[in-house]
Structure 1
Amino acid sequence: MLETVKDRVLEAYGSLLAARDPRLKDYPLMESPFSMTAILLAYLFFVLYAGPKFMANRKPFQLKEAMIIYNLSLVGLSAYIVYEFLMSGWATGYTWRCDPCDYSNSPQGLRMARVAWLFLFSKFIELMDTVFFVLRKKHSQITFLHIFHHSFMPWTWWWGVSIVPGGMGSFHAMVNSCVHVIMYFYYGLSAAGPRFQKFLWWKKYMTAIQLTQFVLVSLHVSQWYFMESCDFQVPVIIHLIWLYGTFFFVLFSNFWYQAYIKGKRLPKNTQETTKTNGSTIVTNGSSGVSNGHAIHENGLSNGKKHHENGNALNGKMKKA
């Protein structure tokens, strides 16, 4: 029985490799799945073991300038990716319904393949999000959702881009890149310091933008299920996108409820509430914003601002 299972796994793996788009095989990380898998495993090793151990007896690094450059660079990269997606199909011929992948060597087809690869490559750059958290000892921000988004999802995206770099399955990548323009701009301002806090009043709406993203992606891809026929070449990609969109919509809806309706921040161990003489003092209380992976405390990612709430109690000031 084990031999049969092994044979089927190898057969499926061989079929996936055979289905890869030959136009992308010479791109970085695309020669085989082993190089990108090794990077993601090294990422997990650093985040879950080596990084925390290295930082155990060290003070947190500040990294302010590095984070500003990193975040604003990703703003520019994400904006360029959005532009390329639009010019390679979404604003130049796609119907926004059943759009198959163009596997030809036409300028348009090659342009879409390149930007699909660039979107994937940006996910490996974004692994630095977690590296900054580790080096700054922001352990509460390294959640399961954060690690899942930065490891397993790029792994599945690699196969998607390898096999079908374009068509209706690329809509979620374009929308995600739009959100990242806004998100990393917010992070860049946050990392710049207290003098920019007055420009970050829209923190709460970051979660609303994320929810809107998942709704748009799920609605768009759901069209496939109601079409009499659609010649999109790899339907399994449609199913995965729908599952991801629904999964993250549920998670972010729960986050919105916990953070903004109940006034709590997840996970619970990051917030402690003390009630004294009818007054409520919130310690390390924060609301969060996430891009599917990073949760920010007190309106800041990669640059946390500490708020102190004082209540006069028996002639003394009690600080949170």
Structure 2
Amino acid sequence: MLQEAVSNVLKFHSYLQLRTDVRVKDYPLMQSPIQMTSILLAYVFFSVYVGPRLMANRKPLRLNTAMMIYNLGMVLLNAYIVSEFLLSGWGTTYTWRCDLIDVSSSPQTLRMIRASWLFYFSKFIELFDTLFFVLRKKQSQITFLHVFHHSFMPWTWWWGITLTPAGGMGAFHALVNAVVHVIMYFYYGLSAAGPRFQKYLWWKKYITAIQLLQFVLVSVHISQYYFMEKCDYQVPLWIHLIWLYGVFFFLLFSNFWVQAYIRGKRLPAADVKPTQNCSASEHITVVANGKHLENGHAQLNTNGNILLGKVKEI
């Protein structure tokens, strides 16, 4: 039975290599799902097990300068991704309606593929968000949703750009997410800059509003598929998955908005401290296809394991 299972895995791996789009095959981390899966499994293992034990008897590191540089770099990277998405289709030839998967090798299509791969690769850079939490002993920020989102997002995107690197209407959420990341990393950069910048963080509440708007835009855009008289999108599965993803996280954040800003359930004062990618009075939310402000609260038990607790506000 084991031999048969191994044989089936090898057959599937060979099938994937044959199906990998030749236009993206030579990009880093695109040759096989084994590479990126190994990185993401190592990330989960470090975040949940190794990291907390490594820092258990050490003082938290002060990484404000590193975080400021990192957040500024992510602002610039995501701004570049946005510009490439716009120049390679979304701001030029795309209709914003039934834009099909592009199978050509025109210069514009290849530019779109580069932008899509760069968006995918940026998700691996975002794993440093968690590293900052670990080194600063902010383990309560590393909730189940935080780890799941950071590992699941790049894993799913590998399949998308492996099979459909120029995904047409199925890639709209990446454009929106990159725009949101420009705004959010700018906010986090200011938060990491220290107390003197706290007066400029009055718009923290609107980060959640921007997230809700993101989900609305993605869901409405992809929903067009169901009402068009004819749209021959080549992989309808992407449409269904994106719609479900957008709606699910819209509901999640709508509930968060009600709990945090209508019912006014605030965090205890002890929890209200600026942290990497989580500023004053902000305690982890989750962002679909976006920044991981997670809508949960985690605690460490004596063994350093993550325990998911009750919902908290930003």
Instruction: Compute the TM-score of the two structures, normalised by the length of structure 1.
Output: 0.82
> Structure 2: which 5+ runs fail to align?
273-280, 296-314
Q: Residue 101 in 1 paired to residue 101 in 2?
A: yes
Q: Residue 160 in 1 paired to residue 147 in 2?
A: no
8 A Cα contact 2:44 2:151, kept in partner: yes
Q: Which moved more, 1:184-193 or 1:137-146?
A: 137-146
Q: Which string of whole-angstrom CA distances, capped at 9 and with x for unpartnered residues, describes residues 261-311 of structure 1? A: 22235xxxxx45xxxxxxxxx5435344646253499xxxxxxxxxxxxxx
Partner of 1:195: 196
Give 1:205's aligned amino acid. Y
Residue correspondence of structure 1 range 166-205 to structure 2 within 5 A? 166=166, 167-205=168-206
Partner of 2:49: 49
8 A Cα contact 2:271 2:283, kept in partner: no
C-alpha distance in 2, partners of 1:218/1:10? 37
C-alpha distance in 2, partners of 1:214/1:148? 19
Residues 296, 248 of structure 1: alpha-carbon distance in 2 compared, 3 angstrom cutoff: closer
C-alpha distance in 2, partners of 1:117/1:95? 22
Give 2:160's aligned amino acid. G
Partner of 2:208: 207
> Structure 1: which 5+ runs fail to align?
266-270, 273-281, 298-320
Residues 57, 5 of structure 1: alpha-carbon distance in 2 compared, 3 angstrom cutoff: closer
Q: Rg larger in 1 or in 2?
A: 1
Partner of 1:248: 249
Partner of 1:76: 76
Q: Residue 149 in 1 paired to residue 136 in 2?
A: no
3-state SS of paired residue (1:22) = coil
C-alpha distance in 2, partners of 1:121/1:218? 24
Partner of 1:304: none
| Count of matched residue positions in the alignment of Structure 1 and Structure 2 | 283
Q: Residue 136 in 1 paired to residue 136 in 2?
A: yes
8 A Cα contact 2:64 2:193, kept in partner: yes
Partner of 1:316: none
Give 1:103's aligned amino acid. V
8 A Cα contact 2:184 2:207, kept in partner: yes
8 A Cα contact 2:98 2:231, kept in partner: yes
8 A Cα contact 1:264 1:287, kept in partner: no
Q: Which string of whole-angstrom CA distances, capped at 9 and with x for unpartnered residues, describes residues 92-148 of structure 1? A: 110101101222111011001110000000000000011111111112211122111
8 A Cα contact 2:284 2:294, kept in partner: yes
C-alpha distance in 1, partners of 2:84/2:189? 23
Partner of 2:306: none
Residues 7, 32 of structure 1: alpha-carbon distance in 2 compared, 3 angstrom cutoff: closer
Partner of 2:122: 122
Partner of 2:307: none
Give 2:246's aligned amino acid. G
Cα shift at 1:5? 9.2
Q: Which moved more, 1:246-255 or 1:282-291?
A: 282-291
Cα shift at 1:150? 0.3
Identical aligned residues as a percent? 67
Q: Which string of whole-angstrom CA distances, capped at 9 and with x for unpartnered residues, describes residues 134-178 of structure 1? A: 111112211122111100121011100111122111100000000
Q: Which string of whole-angstrom CA distances, capped at 9 and with x for unpartnered residues, describes residues 25-70 of structure 1? A: 1101011111101110110010000000000011111111110000
C-alpha distance in 1, partners of 2:292/2:153? 14
Cα shift at 1:18? 3.2
Give 1:127's aligned amino acid. L
C-alpha distance in 2, partners of 1:296/1:64? 22
Q: Which moved more, 1:65-74 or 1:255-264?
A: 255-264
C-alpha distance in 2, partners of 1:35/1:251? 32
Cα shift at 1:254? 1.8
Instruction: Compute the TM-score of the two structures, normalised by the length of structure 2.
Output: 0.83
Partner of 1:40: 40
8 A Cα contact 1:207 1:289, kept in partner: no
8 A Cα contact 1:124 1:154, kept in partner: yes
